[in-house]
Structure 1
Amino acid sequence: MRRRTVAKAGGWAAQAPLLLDVAASWELRLRADGKADGTVRSYVDSVRVLSHYLAEHDMPVDVEGVQARHVGAFLAASAAATSAGNAHKHFRNLRVFFAWLVADGERVAASPMAGVERPVVARGRTRTRALDDAELTALLAVCSGDTFECRRDTAIVRILIDNGMRLSWLAGLRYSRDDAEANDVWPAEHRLRVPLKDDDVLLAPIGHKAAAAVDRYVRARARHPHAGSPWLWLPIRAGTAAGEHRLTSTGIQQMLERRGREAGVRGRLHPHRFRETMADDYLRAGGDPLNLMRIVGWKSVEMARQRARTAERSAGERARAEHARLSPGDRRD
C-alpha cells in the first residue's frame, strides 16, 4: 500500500506509517500510562475499526493522510450500523489517539478531529438490536467445519449464544489440563469460571451444545503448536504485541465481525448483541429474572427488573397477536 512521504524534524523525509502500524505503540503507551484493560481495548479497537473502514472505502490509511472528512464518514457509518452511542465512543477515542500522534511526532499536520462534528447521542437508553433465529443459524453454519479455526469459532459463538458472556470475561478464560487452579473450563460439568473484582468468582453455566463445542475445540487445541499457553483461545498464527500466544478481546471481536459478514448478519456483530439475545430468549422461555441475573453476572437487581418488564411487554404483544389469529368472535358469524 502506498504511503505518503512527509518532512520530519531535522530536514529528512520519511514515509508516514499506517494506522495499524502504530496501533501496537499506542497500546504500549496506554498501558504505560496505567490505563485499565477495558480502556486500552476500547482505544485500540477504535483505531482498528477506523483503519478497516478507510481501507474498504479506498480512503487514506496512513497517519498523515487521514482528514476530518474521512473520520466523519466513518463515524456516520458507525452510527448507522450500530448506534450513535458507539459512534460517540469512537469519536472520543480517536480524538485522544490523534492528539497522541501529533504530540509524539508521528503526524506533522494538526489532528483531524478538530474538524469532526461530535456525534449526537439521544437521551435515554437505546437497546442494542438482538439477533434473530435466522442470523444465529447462519452464523453457526459459517463457523461449522473440522479445522482448528472452525472449532474455535464455533465454541466461542456457542458460549455467547448460550451465556451472553462479556467479551473481557470470554477472552480472559484460562486453560490447563493439569492445574485446576489455572483452569477456568470444565465442559463435563457444563460451567466456566470467571474471576471478578475483589476475589469474587462467577461460575457461568453453559448448555450441552456449548459444552460439546468447547470440548471439541479443546481436543483440537491440544495439537496446536502453542498448546502450552495458559489462555484458552489461541490464534491461528501470530501472538499479541506483548508476545503472548492468545486470542485477545480485539481478536475475538475481529473474528465475530468477519463471521457476521460471512453470515449476512445485519449491522456490526459484537458480543453485547449476543447478551441481549440470550437475555430475551431466556425470559421468553419462562426463565426467572433473578436467576438470569446470577447467570450473566449482573450486580443490580434493577437490571433484572428492567429485563422482566421488557419480557412482559413482549409476552403481551405475542398474546395480542395470538388472539388476532385465534379470536373466538372472529371464528363465528
Structure 2
Amino acid sequence: MSNVIEFNPERRGTRRRTSAASRAIPVPRGAHLQQCLESWQLSLESANKADKTIRSYTDVAGMFITYLTDNSLPCDAEGVQAEHVRAFLVRERHRTSEASADVCFRNLRVWFNWMCSDEIAERTSPSPVLKADRPNVTKKAKKYITEDEQRRLLATARSNSFEDRRDLALMMVLYDSGPRASGIMGVRYTPRDPESNDVDIRGRRLRIRLKGGDEHWLPLGSKAAQALDRYLRARSAHSKALTSPWLWLGIQGINTSHFSPEGLRDMLVRRGALAGIVDKVTPHRYRGTAAHELLKAGAGKEVVQRVLGWKTAEMVEHYTDALADERAREVHARLSPGDRL
C-alpha cells in the first residue's frame, strides 16, 4: 500500500485553510518602515540637519510606526494608504492638539516624499500624506516685544557692571537683528585669529551659524554695535577673557567661559520679570519682533529674509503675518485717501 497522497489542484472542494489571526496580518509589499526610518535618519544627518529637527522628524515617524503596529495596519513603504495617515492624524488631534497634529502631518509629508523620491524609490505609488488631510490649525496672535517693553528691559541693565553690559548688548542685538539663541550664543571672539573670529565691530556684523550649519553675517545697527563694543571692554577684564574663544562669558556656574543659550533664556525671563512684563520674554519672541519692525520700517520681504538668515520667503510670512494688519493701519495713516482731499 502506497503512502503517497496524490495532490490534485483541480480537485473540487480542496481549499487552503487559514486562521483568522493569519488573515488579519497585512502582507508586506515594501521595505519595513522601521528600516526606512533608520535610513532616513542617516540621510538627515548626512544633510547636516539640526539635531532638534532630526529628533522632531524621527519622533513622529516612530509614533506613526507604533500606531500602525498597534492597529494591525500595513507597516511597509508600499502598504501605507492615505486612510491610515488620516486616522493617525485624527487620533493625534484628539490626543493632543491641532497644532501637534499639524507637526505630525508636516513631518510625515517630508518622510514619505523622501521615500517616493527617484533617488530612494522605496515607494512606487504617490505619497499617502495628502494636502487635503492637513489639520486646520487656528491661528493665534503671536506675542512680540513692543518698543515700550524693550525700553523697560534695557532699563534693567543700565549699570556699569559686567553682567549689565553683557545683557544689554545681547538684548540690543536680539531686538536689532533677531538671531536664534544657538546662533548668537555660538559666536566666537578670537581677535588674534582672524580666521575663527566672528566679531567685526568696524563692519558692524557678527558671523553666526544658521540651522543646518551654514554661516551667515548678521548685520548690526549703530546702537547695537556700540552696546557690543561697550561689552567687549568689560569682557577684556574677565578672568576667562584670554582663554575662552566665546564672545559671551558667564559670571557664575561651572563654566563661566561660555554663556550658553540656556543662560540667555534664563536671563531674558529674569529681566522680563524685573521690567514688569507679563508675557514670558524669549529669544523666539525677539526673532519675530525684528522681522516685524524691519517690515514696518519699509524693508522688503527679501531683505528681511536675508537679514534673519531664512531659507525661504514663507518664513517671513510665518513670523510676521500676525501683525500685518497693524502695519497696514500704519501705512493707511500715512497714505489715507480721505486725508489727501
Class of the TM-score when normalised by the shorter of the 2 chains: 0.5 to 0.7
CA RMSD of aligned residues (A): 3.6
Structure 2 unaligned regions, length at least 5: 1-48, 57-97, 104-134
For 1:201 and 1:254, the matched residues in 2 are separated by 26
**CA 1:175/1:249 → structure 2, altered by over 3 Å: closer, same or farther?**
same
Q: Residue type of the partner of 1:169?
A: G
For 1:312 and 1:304, the matched residues in 2 are separated by 11
Give the percent of matched residue pairs that are identical in Structure 1 and Structure 2.
37
Higher helix share: 1
Question: Could you tell me which of 256, 260, 263 is aligned with 1:251?
Answer: 263
Match of 2:250 in 1: 235
Pairwise CA distance, 1:281: 1.0
For 1:308 and 1:226, the matched residues in 2 are separated by 39
For 2:293 and 2:211, the matched residues in 1 are separated by 28
Match of 1:293 in 2: 305
Question: Could you tell me which of 176, 190, 194 is aligned with 2:190?
Answer: 176
Pairwise CA distance, 1:301: 1.9
**CA 1:235/1:305 → structure 2, altered by over 3 Å: closer, same or farther?**
closer
User: Contact conserved, 2:291 with 2:320, CA < 8 A, in 1?
Assistant: no
User: 1:119-152, CA deviations, whole angstroms, 9 ceiling, x for partnerless residues?
Assistant: xx98244343111111111111111111000110
Structure 1 unaligned regions, length at least 5: 1-34, 43-83, 90-120
The correspondence of residues 60-71 of structure 1 with structure 2, limited to 5 A, is: none
Pairwise CA distance, 1:327: 5.6
The correspondence of residues 1-333 of structure 1 with structure 2, limited to 5 A, is: 38=52, 123-196=137-210, 200-227=214-241, 228-240=243-255, 245-305=257-317, 313-318=325-330
User: Contact conserved, 2:141 with 2:322, CA < 8 A, in 1?
Assistant: no
Secondary structure at 1:188 match in 2: coil
**CA 1:269/1:85 → structure 2, altered by over 3 Å: closer, same or farther?**
farther
Match of 1:57 in 2: none
TM-score normalised by L of structure 1: 0.58
Pairwise CA distance, 1:308: 7.4
For 1:259 and 1:215, the matched residues in 2 are separated by 21
User: 1:71-99, CA deviations, whole angstroms, 9 ceiling, x for partnerless residues?
Assistant: xxxxxxxxxxxxx979xx9xxxxxxxxxx
User: 1:99-119, CA deviations, whole angstroms, 9 ceiling, x for partnerless residues?
Assistant: xxxxxxxxxxxxxxxxxxxxx
User: Contact conserved, 1:38 with 1:168, CA < 8 A, in 2?
Assistant: no
Pairwise CA distance, 1:296: 0.1
User: Contact conserved, 1:289 with 1:307, CA < 8 A, in 2?
Assistant: no
Secondary structure at 1:204 match in 2: strand
Pairwise CA distance, 1:323: 8.7
User: Contact conserved, 1:191 with 1:206, CA < 8 A, in 2?
Assistant: yes
User: Contact conserved, 1:128 with 1:272, CA < 8 A, in 2?
Assistant: no
Kindly name which structure, 1 or 2, has the bigger radius of gyration based on alpha carbons.
Answer: 2
Match of 1:93 in 2: none
User: Contact conserved, 1:283 with 1:311, CA < 8 A, in 2?
Assistant: no
For 1:291 and 1:271, the matched residues in 2 are separated by 21
Q: Residue type of the partner of 1:239?
A: I
User: Contact conserved, 1:239 with 1:247, CA < 8 A, in 2?
Assistant: no
Secondary structure at 2:216 match in 1: strand
**CA 1:200/1:175 → structure 2, altered by over 3 Å: closer, same or farther?**
same
For 1:306 and 1:38, the matched residues in 2 are separated by 19
For 2:293 and 2:50, the matched residues in 1 are separated by 32
User: 1:14-64, CA deviations, whole angstroms, 9 ceiling, x for partnerless residues?
Assistant: xxxxxxxxxxxxxxxxxxxxx966589x9xxxxxxxxxxxxxxxxxxxxxx
